[in-house]
């Protein structure tokens, strides 16, 4: 009986040690990824105010790629809608930058920013 308890304890300890670090590493990696969204949007704002279309294009393409991926498991309609708006507006931003249309790019940037705020708002309220 004591032997079984010892084995069970060792197994549990090993599981705990192997599971905990992996989970925290995953969260760190995800946090770093999410921070990138902020960097790309700063890059776009920089491009907008200096009329540097290459900068806008690079940032918009990176964010649009982000929009194609599933960041978290959340099947609510509210979340999926914001994800869709984000993907659509970053796509429109790519097109505006390619056409070198500063007004259209500024409009899409504003619309995209709404989706950043609204998606976070949705998540916080769920």
Per CB under 6 A, residues contacting ligand HEC are 34-35, 37-38, 41, 63, 71-72, 82-83, 86, 112, 115-116, 119-120, 123
CA distance 109 to 125: 25
Smallest separation, CB 28 to ligand HEC (Å)? 11
Q: Which is nearer to ligand HEC, 82 or 108 (CB)?
A: 82
What contacts 21, CB < 8 A, 6 or more positions away?
A: none
Q: Which is nearer to ligand HEC, 2 or 23 (CB)?
A: 23
Backbone dihedral angles phi then psi of residue 99, each to the nearest 5 degrees: -85, 0
Q: Which is nearer to ligand HEC, 12 or 34 (CB)?
A: 34
Smallest separation, CB 20 to ligand HEC (Å)? 18
Smallest separation, CB 60 to ligand HEC (Å)? 10
Output the CA torsion sign for 85, 87, 89, 91: negative
Q: Which is nearer to ligand HEC, 4 or 72 (CB)?
A: 72
CA distance 32 to 14: 28
Taking the C-alpha atoms of 99, 105, 109 and 111 in order, what is their torsion angle to the nearest 10 degrees? -100
Smallest separation, CB 87 to ligand HEC (Å)? 9
The CA-atom distances, in angstroms, between 102 and each of 18, 49, 108, 115 are 51, 9, 10, 20
């Amino acid at each position: 009986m004591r032997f079984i308890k010892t084995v069970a304890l060792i197994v549990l300890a090993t599981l705990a040690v192997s599971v905990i670090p992996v989970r925290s590493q995953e969260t760190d990696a995800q946090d770093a990824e999410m921070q990138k969204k902020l960097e790309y949007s700063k890059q776009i704002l920089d491009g907008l105010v200096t009329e540097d279309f290459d900068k806008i294009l690079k940032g918009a393409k990176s964010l649009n790629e982000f929009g194609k991926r599933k960041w978290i498991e959340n099947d609510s309609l509210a979340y999926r809608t914001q994800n869709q708006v984000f993907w659509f507006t970053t796509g429109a931003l790519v097109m505006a930058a390619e056409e070198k249309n500063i007004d259209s790019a500024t409009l899409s940037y504003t619309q995209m920013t709404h989706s950043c705020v609204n998606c976070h708002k949705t998540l916080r309220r769920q």
